[in-house]
Amino acid sequence: MRAIDIIHAEHRALGAVVQAFRHVLDSIHNGTKQPDFELLEALIEYITEVPDKLHHPKEDDVLFIKILEVVPDAQALIAKLQDDHEKGAQSTLNLRTALQTYKAADAKAFAVFEALALRYIESTWKHISLEEKELLPMAVKRLAPQDWAGIDAAFEANKDPWSGPTGEYRALYSKIVNLVPAPYGLGPA
């Protein structure tokens, strides 16, 4: 069940990024920091690239299919999680557009961007929680060792949430860590 460890690691990495995103939004909202558009763009790029293009496809195309083969009564849960994946992809697209509007306009556009970002962050935490508290325990309990062989292989193919399958996310994650203000990153407090 190596896939479970990989999913946990990817959830932790995404959790760290959305927590940093929230910190950045709060700092802008409270007036303690000016908007850093380079950082905001990097955060949105990460939540678009890693969950939407790396993490969720493995769940949709491998894990969920195997769970449904073995546990057909998981259909409603899987449908909810797949719907979350689709909505998440649309949310990141909307965030990119709202950020460009905010960047081109003035501080008034921040409220729209912030509202979209906070909804995304809240839905991401709910989604991660649902997977961690319901889906993964059920999978561990109900799937047999032979079921895990293909799942593990698919998740092992790109197991590093910071690097991606060919290292393309390493620089992006490092950039975020270096730009996010302390205590969530290494940037100036």
Name the CATH superfamily for 2-179. nmb1532 protein domain like (1.20.120.520)
Domain assignments of the chain as residue spans, ordered by start? 2-179
pLDDT of residue 29: 96
Q: What is the pLDDT of residues 176-185, one digit of tens each?
A: 989 998 888 8
Give the separation between CA 157 and CA 53, rounded to whole angstroms.
14
Instruction: Say how far apart CA 103 and CA 90 lie, in whole Å.
Output: 20
Q: What is the pTM of this model?
A: 0.90
pLDDT for 103 equals 94
The residues of the chain scoring below 50 in pLDDT are none
Provide the angle, in degrees to the nearest 10, between the axes of the packed helices 110-130 and 2-29: 160
> What is the per-residue pLDDT across 70-108, written as a single tens digit (0 to 9) for each?
999 999 999 999 999 999 999 999 999 999 999 998 778
- At 167 the pLDDT is 66
pLDDT at 187: 85
DSSP state of 164: -
